Each structure stands twice: as C-alpha cells, then as structure tokens.
Structure 1
Amino acid sequence: MSSLPRLVREQVARVMSNVRQAFRAVAARNTHGTLIGVEMEGLSGESVSGELFQHYGFSSAPLPGAEYLVVPVGGNSKHAVVVASEDGRYRLTLQDGEVSLYTDEGDYIHMKRGRLIEVVTDDLVFKVKNKVRFDTPMVEMTGDQHVDGSIKADAEIADHTRTMQGDRDLYNAHGHSGGPPPKPPQ
C-alpha cells in the first residue's frame, strides 16, 4: 500500500514538470492596440510574447529593461500574461504608506506623508468642460499670471501699495483747483 502514494507523487511530479510556473522576465518592446502586447525575455534567455494586463483606469507602457512577473495561462508560455511590471530605474523613493505615479522623464505625482501631494512636470494642462473650483482658504502662486478672460473678485483686490477700494476712495476725494469731486464717483 505504501507504493500507491509514491506512484501518485511521481505522476503529479511528471505532469507538473510539463506545466510552466509563473516566472520573471525583462521587457523588450511593446505593441499597442486594444491590449498592450509585450515582447520579453525570460530569465533563462528565451523570448516570450504576451499581454500586459493592467487595472481598469490605469495604463502604462513599460520601457525595455522593465521587469515583469509573467503567468503562463494553462501552464503554457504560448499564452503568457504579465500581471505586474516594475522599473526601479525610475521609481521614486517612498516612505511607508506613500503612493506615486512616475515616468522615465522625471514627471511624477507623489502622495506624501502629512497629506501633501506633489506634482512635478514641465507643463500641466487641464481640459475641463465646465468649471474648476479650488475649495481652499488660500491659493499661492509664484511667477506671472496670464488670463485670457475677465477676472472677477467678490472681495477686495490689493497689491503691495493699497487695495482697489483705497484707489477709488483717493480718486473720489480729489478735485481740480477747488472744483467739485469727479462724477460719477468710483
């Protein structure tokens, strides 16, 4: 009776030897379409083609040299699916609990500890159909500001000298050679 368990183990081992387990690979190139196809090189040097599966709403096209975790569907490398990708060459250094999105060009969104989000890029464009609202007590800006449309303020506008209301008060109080103040007042 002791030979039956041994025979079963041997049979399972024989079957499993023909089933490819998950493996690591290195990205070679991508093909873009409805799905992102990937050409990669397994760690034993073999060329493998597959699909890059990604979470809904997130897309990436890893550069050659990125690392993959590959699952051969049905144990066969002919239908390989990349379930995770990583590229430590460009990854930001994070503290525990932090999250980032990043590119090889140095652009990133870094959600830091202390509830701080840092965005770094050369140009940032928002395409918004109706409105952008900042619900905050303060907006700070460095550099110049250019506005194509009107600017409206529901409160006071001030510069380094005085407020616009202060300018109106000065204008309304002045006269010419003892004449009456300007009409209409500002």
Structure 2
Amino acid sequence: MSRLQTMLTRGVVVLAAAGRKLQELQLRLMAGEPKGGIEHLEAYGLTAHPLPGAEALAAFMGGDRSHGVVLVVADRRYRITGLEAGEVCLYDDIGHRIHLTRAGIVIDGAGQAITLTNAPEVRMETEVLKVTGDIRDRCDAADGRTMAAMRDIYNGHDHAENDSGGPTDEPNQRM
C-alpha cells in the first residue's frame, strides 16, 4: 500500500538541465525530499525551461524513487487567467503571449521585437492590413526608408520637364 501512495507526488522545481534531449529536473518533493535527475516528459512540439519555484507532478513506477519522471510542470505565478471556454494561450514569465481568442489570434511581444526568421515569404490573406506605426523596407540597408518617408519624397518632388526644360509642379495626386 505504501508503494502505491508514493507513486505520484508533487514537487517544486529547483533546477532544470534543459540542454539534454530529455530535460532533467531537480525537485524538492513533498516533505522537503530533494530528488535530482528526474526526466521531464514534455508533449511533442512543445518545450519549456521551467523557472525555479514552478510546481511539478512526478511519477515513480511502483513507488520506486530510483527512476521517476515528471509528467507536468505548472507555474501559477505566470499563468494567464480569465480565458473564455475553449481559448488557448502560450505564455512566458515576462509577458510574451500568443492567445487564441474567440475573436482571433493576439500576439503580444511584451514590448519586445517579434521576429520571423528564415521565412522566404510572409503571406497575409486579408482584406485590410492595419499598422499603427511605420512600415520600413530594406530595414537592414543604409538606404531603407519608411513608407511615410517615401510618401513625403513623392508628394514634394519635382523634376525638369522634357518639353520646356522647366521644373514640374508637385504631383496633383498626393500619395
């Protein structure tokens, strides 16, 4: 009976060795029992490096504490609350979020850049693209410009006419 009672236990993460193929955690189990080298089984396609203080549920087959596995790690300090039924949110401790809401998908970079890497193309199939700030092309090049700067250049430009040689007026249709 005691082996059955010790098969599942709660613990608190002390340390994570995230550089291995199967992450290993050091936990402080109930009653303060330290236990290291416990493999953390994660869902395919999702991984995380839990912070010290996160909570874990560990399983020990047959109650044998020599080889356990962590089934789940949660961290109530950073968990997003108030989701509607059926919503999903991927989040971290500094406020990054990808929230699948009932109204759409919200990506929150927590005031930091959001970078798409190694994408040969980004395609958006939408009727309207709304941007509250500037759009800049060739952002890493010295001659990269925002669309607002290109609009100012176009709206204010003139050049010599081919027929009389004098300068043209500014465009009659502003961009």
Decide: shared fold, TM above 0.5. Answer: yes
- 1:69, CA displacement in angstroms? 0.9
2:39 touches 2:70 (CA, 8 Å); kept in 1?
yes
Higher helix share: 1
Deviations 1:110-166 (A, max 9, x none): 1112234333330111113421111111111122222118xxxxxxxxx69xxx8x9
1:30 touches 1:37 (CA, 8 Å); kept in 2?
yes
2:59 touches 2:68 (CA, 8 Å); kept in 1?
yes
2:7 touches 2:62 (CA, 8 Å); kept in 1?
no
Distance in 2 of aligned mates of 1:146 and 1:90: 34
Q: 1:35 corresponds to which letter in structure 2? A: L
Deviations 1:47-102 (A, max 9, x none): 12211110111100110110011111232122111111110101112222111111
Q: Which portions of structure 1, spanning 4 or more consecutive aligned residues, are displaced by more than 3 angstroms?
A: 173-177
What does residue 52 of structure 1 align with? 40
2:97 touches 2:108 (CA, 8 Å); kept in 1?
yes
Distance in 1 of aligned mates of 2:77 and 2:132: 32
Query: When the two structures are aligned, how many residues end up with a matched partner?
Result: 153
- 1:109, CA displacement in angstroms? 1.0
Distance in 2 of aligned mates of 1:129 and 1:140: 21
Cα 1:127–1:83 shift into 2, 3 Å: same
What does residue 98 of structure 1 align with? 87
Give the gaps of 5 or more residues in structure 1.
Answer: 1-15, 150-158, 182-186
What does residue 127 of structure 2 align with? 137
- For residue 44 of structure 1, give the secondary structure of its aligned residue in structure 2: helix
Q: What is the root-mean-square deviation in Å for CA atoms of aligned residues?
A: 3.1
* Identity in percent: 31
1:72 touches 1:80 (CA, 8 Å); kept in 2?
yes
